[in-house]
């Protein structure tokens, strides 16, 4: 069952609060690739860009061009065991396995896709 748009927004905001803050090193794009967005996340991105092969379309000079609006999947890199940072960065406080699983399952319920952003 697909989550409606309004509930997607509430869910994404709740998940963001659950993920420990981790600042990536300036200019790092080691975890970047094609990005999956829920519809709600995609609509929050001011600068819409088409997919660009295997690279994230939001890589900019100095790193992520949408860092503050980046989707949940990007926020999870380094914060969960299955998405370890290649540089070894991690949050000061790790997620417990139950919360990690809850975030992953809940995010999947928002049905993120690789579809082109709307203009």
Mean pLDDT of 60-84: 89
Interacting residues of 117 by C-beta distance below 8 A, sequence separation 6+: 37, 42, 45, 48, 49, 50
Q: What are the residue boundaries of the structural domains of the chain, listed by start?
A: 5-108
The stretch 41-53 carries a mean pLDDT of 82
Where do we find the tokens 């070894």? 88
Could you give the C-alpha distances from 85 to 11, 12, 49, 115, in angstroms and in order?
25, 22, 25, 25
Q: Which of 41-45, 49-53, 93-97, 104-108 has the lowest mean pLDDT?
A: 49-53
Assign 1 a pLDDT band (cuts: 50, 70, 90). very low
């Amino acid at each position: 069952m697909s989550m409606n748009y309004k509930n997607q927004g509430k869910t994404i905001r709740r998940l963001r609060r659950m993920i420990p803050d981790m600042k990536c090193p300036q200019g790092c794009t080691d975890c970047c690739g094609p990005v999956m967005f829920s519809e709600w996340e995609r609509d929050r991105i001011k600068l819409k860009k088409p997919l660009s092969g295997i690279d994230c379309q939001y890589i900019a000079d100095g790193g992520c061009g949408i860092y503050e609006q980046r989707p949940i999947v990007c926020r999870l890199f380094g914060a969960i065991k299955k998405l370890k940072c290649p540089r070894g960065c991690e949050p000061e406080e790790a997620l417990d396995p139950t919360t990690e699983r809850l975030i992953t399952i809940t995010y999947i319920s928002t049905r993120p896709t690789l579809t082109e952003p709307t203009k």
